[in-house]
Amino acid sequence: MKNVYQRLIAFINITSLADISITLMVIFLIAGITAAFSRAGLSVKLPQSAYLRPQVEEGILITIDEKEKIFVEEEEVSKKDLIKNIYKYLEKKGSNKVYLQADKNLPYGKIIEILGEIKNAGIIDVGLLATSIKKK
């Protein structure tokens, strides 16, 4: 009789462990995908233009939101650290192209002020982003 109990204890049922592992894997996959999509970009209402050319060159993106916060590649930066961060990302990407997108409700002077700082720092290849006018 003792031999029968020893054989039963020797086998481990791992069905529960596999179920828990698969469930956790699915939860983490869903959480990771959700986090990636939530950081897909900053929400900015871009101005519209009748003339747009598609930009095929890779560059870094500078965003100014409606609260006048400045972001370099989704990282919020202060105005005094803007140029330092631009050069950091330019070096990281190996590019010399900068794209500036600003909320359409921002004062024109604020956009020109930031654009002037970028140009004064020696970055001459700056593109301004807009959306196309929807034709009726």
Q: What is the pTM (predicted TM-score) of this model?
A: 0.63
The token pair that represents 29 in the structure block: 């996959």
Q: How many CB atoms lie within 10 A of CB 119?
A: 12
* Cα gap 22→78, rounded to integer Å: 44
* Cα gap 102→47, rounded to integer Å: 8
Residues counted in the chain: 136
The per-residue pLDDT for 129 is 84
For 18-77, write each residue's pLDDT tens digit.
788 888 888 888 877 766 555 456 677 777 787 777 777 788 889 998 888 999 988 899
Architecture of domain 48-132: 2-Layer Sandwich (3.30)
For 72-99, write each residue's pLDDT tens digit.
988 899 989 999 999 998 888 888 889 9
* Cα gap 115→70, rounded to integer Å: 12
* Cα gap 65→101, rounded to integer Å: 9
